[in-house]
Copies of this chain bind each other. A is one copy, B any other.
Amino acid sequence: MAEAVYDAYREEVLGRANVADTEELVEFYKDLESQHAGALWTVANKIEPWEPVTESQPVLWQFDRLREHVLRALELVSPEQAGRRVVYLANPGRRDVTAAVGWLYTGLQVMGPGELASSHRHSASALRFIMEGSGAFTNVDGHKMTLGRNDFVLTPNGTWHEHGVAEDGTVCIWQDGLDIPLMNALEANFYEVHPDLQQAVSFPIDDSTATWGNPALRPAGETWSKRYSPLLKYEWEPTYEALLKYARVTDGSPYDGIHMDYVNPFTGGAPMQTMGASMQLLRPGEHTRAHREVGSFVYQCAKGSGHSIIGGRRFDWKERDIFVVPSWMWHEHVNGSDSEDACLFSFHDLPTMRTLGLYRAEGLAENGGFQPVIS
């Protein structure tokens, strides 16, 4: 039988733990274990790494390949059976927590004309990014919204929500993003089914966007006590226009091109407390420099095509492809086209990182800011 080893993490650096196993020490360690205890120096270098160590891998999911499975699900299960008819994306390093990257869940939901899912609410914050089809809608706490291509929609922590497609619509697919894994990790996840299974529509259709989706204007004297955005749907058209407008007056970020965050218009801050989202435009031929950030990212290509280099590996993407960037991993983006711009939607956990004081970012200094690509 193999002897237990306690000195696997030794480092020959002043200020770091560096204790070799001895018979006496090993006995001491075993004694401690029997009392639900241990010697810090046997694990200190492991639990206090020099910099973040991610369990996630960079992954890209080609939509072409996923789409057939998603549509297949339409035949295989009903929303009544499934709750929600979703194909989720699982990071090889995070399958145990059903995460696409870090503590972020994502999946592709599909609904056919006339279908309606039941209403529920949970501690997890959720968002949608609309991929294809017409007639989809979401009802969040009585605010019914029509959903169009590349619209970004919130269903925040604690809100009743349900989705459906109108009778005269087509099959619709959208991407769901949630922080379910984080809620479970934090042991804070509650779930409720709506007592009536469906909720009423209590406000004019799309009232949230008409009320709060205006540039630097808000209903006079209006207050809002919730900790998430009163604006629930961010439409694609004005978002794309904003990127073009902003592009005319900025050089853009060296790391992300023309890059804007979706914000809560009531506070100017993140739309939800735990997750944020952004849209970025890469100009024709743009190749950004590499940087890394504390935080996990799920991207979807909303327009055009190109590739990203993540952790030294190249991932080619085109419209609707989804890929992830793990925490503290170098990444850079390339728009391969000479004539067309490319847009990347992303959602991430930066609001969590920022609110806990953990956000950091670093640009790559070597090699002109470009990673060597692992072939």
Interface residues of A in 179-229 (CB under 8 A from B): 180-181, 183-194, 197, 203-204, 206-207, 210-221, 227-229
Flag A45-58 by CB within 8 Å of B: 1 or 0 each. 00111111111100
**A220 contacts which chain B residues (CB < 8 A)?**
253, 256, 259-261, 278, 280
The CA of A17 and the CA of B250, in the complex, are separated in Å by 38
Name which residue of chain B comes closest to A100, CB basis.
B36
When the two chains form their complex, are residues B187 and A37 in contact, meaning their CB atoms are under 8 A apart? no
Name which residue of chain B comes closest to A272, CB basis.
B357
The CA of A272 and the CA of B192, in the complex, are separated in Å by 32
When the two chains form their complex, are residues A353 and B41 in contact, meaning their CB atoms are under 8 A apart? no
Interface presence of A81 (CB below 8 A): yes
Interface presence of A118 (CB below 8 A): yes
Interface presence of A331 (CB below 8 A): no
Interface presence of A155 (CB below 8 A): no
Name which residue of chain B comes closest to A158, CB basis.
B357
Q: How many residues on chain A are close to B (CB under 8 Å)?
A: 142
The CA of A47 and the CA of B96, in the complex, are separated in Å by 10
When the two chains form their complex, are residues A214 and B242 in contact, meaning their CB atoms are under 8 A apart? yes
**A82 contacts which chain B residues (CB < 8 A)?**
17, 19, 39-41, 44
The CA of A261 and the CA of B203, in the complex, are separated in Å by 22
The CA of A228 and the CA of B44, in the complex, are separated in Å by 24
The CA of A88 and the CA of B98, in the complex, are separated in Å by 30
When the two chains form their complex, are residues B216 and A32 in contact, meaning their CB atoms are under 8 A apart? no
The CA of A133 and the CA of B120, in the complex, are separated in Å by 55
Given contacts A187-B327, A261-B221, contact A98 B38 (CB under 8 A): yes
When the two chains form their complex, are residues B90 and A37 in contact, meaning their CB atoms are under 8 A apart? yes
When the two chains form their complex, are residues A187 and B89 in contact, meaning their CB atoms are under 8 A apart? no
16 residue pairs bridging A and B, Cβ less than 8 Å apart: A17-B81, A25-B76, A39-B77, A48-B124, A187-B326, A188-B360, A190-B360, A210-B250, A214-B215, A214-B245, A216-B265, A217-B262, A218-B260, A220-B261, A220-B280, A265-B268
